[in-house]
Amino acid sequence: MYSLTVRDHIMIAHSLPDPFFGPAQALHGATLVVEVTWRRAELGPHGVVMDIGAATSMLSDVLQSLRYANLDEHPAFAGRLSTTETIAGHISEELCRNFDTNEFAGLGVLLREHPDAWACHDIDFD
């Protein structure tokens, strides 16, 4: 299996209004490092998983609506908590709308909240 990973980051605001989340119930900010990995069983016709520039642009485009956004007001999170896991799932779904998933084995989105904590959302296309 071959893979290509690109990275970017976003700064967001959100609250997690449930007692489960303790102090994170209140509105707070977070900087999330976003790593996306595309996977293929075989390399494409140019000997790569995907063009790095295209992958970087695709990720940047998907993150644009989240940059400096209050996710409590973002339509993608209406009626659901904007946990790190939920945000990773949203990014995965949006990315999948932008490329032919038939050419790939899978996609992984990893969000790092800080150096000691992160969450992932993986999709297998097989």
pLDDT digits (tens, 9 = 90+) for 14-40: 999 999 999 999 999 999 999 999 999
Q: Enumerate domains of the chain plus CATH numbers.
A: 2-124 (3.30.479.10)
pLDDT of residue 121: 98
pLDDT tens-digit profile of 31-89? 999 999 999 999 989 999 999 999 999 999 999 999 999 999 999 999 999 999 999 99
HEC string of the chain?
A: CEEEEEEEEEEEEECCCCHHHHHHHCCEEEEEEEEEEEEECCCCCCCCCCCHHHHHHHHHHHHCCCCCCEHHHCHHHCCCCCCHHHHHHHHHHHHHCCCCHHHCCEEEEEEEEECCEEEEEEEECC
Report whether pLDDT(126) > 90: no
